[in-house]
Amino acid sequence: MTWRASILTLFPEMFPGPLGLSLAGRALAGGTWALDAHDIRSFATDRHRTVDDTPAGGGAGMVMRPDVLDTAIGGVMPEGDTRPLIYLTPRGRLLDQSMVRSLAEGPGCVLLCGRYEGIDQRVIDARDMVEVSIGDYVLSGGETAALVLLDACIRLLPGVMGAADSAAEESHGAEGLLEYPHYTRPAEWQGRTIPDVLLSGHHAEIARWRRAESEKITRERRPDLWARHDAMHGGAGAIARHPAAA
């Protein structure tokens, strides 16, 4: 079955955007996934097609109205649609590879992109939305976050990634480690060489070297990921193998 993404936005022209190109674009053209983007404004009922209003309690900015959003959601999610309804917001749960994996394994998703200060809490509650953030920074709207989330999911759909591009060893893979460094020809470039072991042809040693580099990079750059990986592998034992991390 086709993995389907429905987008609710004030800027439907932003889709598929970059996802119409390269790997995702080919998969879209080939029917591996499908996209429909809808203008929230087209669900407004007044003459001015109003989608927002001033915040209750005062303050800066505007808030998106619950009635217009609810009608829009009903318009793109038919009764019985089992896809998760995701509201992209900096206050949501942080997107990670395990969330991406489980979304990619499902039927698709409905993505609500907010603008202004936010959306009325009542429609978030009534529609049981999943609030998701792509990182601890604030974007001008949810659209670019939606593109990021979709990109991460689409590359995991069956047949999208080439065999050579296996997801098994990449960063945030099953082991929860960052990826080791890569090299290619020329063997020497600007006086810089390739680590000898990679040219040795000794597959077991190469695998050992790559694993050690992955662990070192993860420890140095992402102590949070390292702690999780370490716990997965018996905690103190792993620290004993790497005294510097203790």
Please give the residue ranges that form the binding site for ligand ADE (CB under 6 A).
88-90, 133-135, 137-139, 142, 145
Strands of the 108-113 sheet, one edge to the other: 33-39, 3-9, 108-113, 85-94, 130-133
Minimum CB–partner distance for residue 23 and ligand ADE (Å): 23
Q: Which is nearer to ligand ADE, 139 or 217 (CB)?
A: 139
For residue 242, give the amino acid letter: H
3-state secondary structure the chain: CCEEEEEEECCHHHCCHHHHCHHHHHHHHCCCEEEEEEEHHHHCCCCCCCCEECCCCCCCCCEECHHHHHHHHHHHCCCCCCCCEEEEEEEEEECCHHHHHHHHHCCEEEEEECCCCEECHHHHHHCCCEEEECCCCCCCCCHHHHHHHHHHHHCCCCCCCCHHHCCCCCCCCCCCCCCCCCCCCCCEECCEECCHHHHCCCHHHHHHHHHHHHHHHHHHHCHHHHHHHHHHCCCHHHHHHCHHHC
Q: Which is nearer to ligand ADE, 88 or 103 (CB)?
A: 88
Minimum CB–partner distance for residue 115 and ligand ADE (Å): 9
For residue 102, give the amino acid letter: S
Minimum CB–partner distance for residue 147 and ligand ADE (Å): 11
Minimum CB–partner distance for residue 92 and ligand ADE (Å): 6
Q: Which is nearer to ligand ADE, 87 or 209 (CB)?
A: 87
Minimum CB–partner distance for residue 145 and ligand ADE (Å): 3
Q: Which is nearer to ligand ADE, 102 or 193 (CB)?
A: 102
Minimum CB–partner distance for residue 134 and ligand ADE (Å): 4
Q: Kindly give the pairing relationship between strand 192-193 and strand 188-189.
A: antiparallel
Q: Which is nearer to ligand ADE, 106 or 135 (CB)?
A: 135
Smallest Cα–Cα separation from 84: which of 115, 106, 113? Answer: 106
Q: Which is nearer to ligand ADE, 10 or 177 (CB)?
A: 10
Minimum CB–partner distance for residue 215 and ligand ADE (Å): 29
Q: Which is nearer to ligand ADE, 37 or 145 (CB)?
A: 145
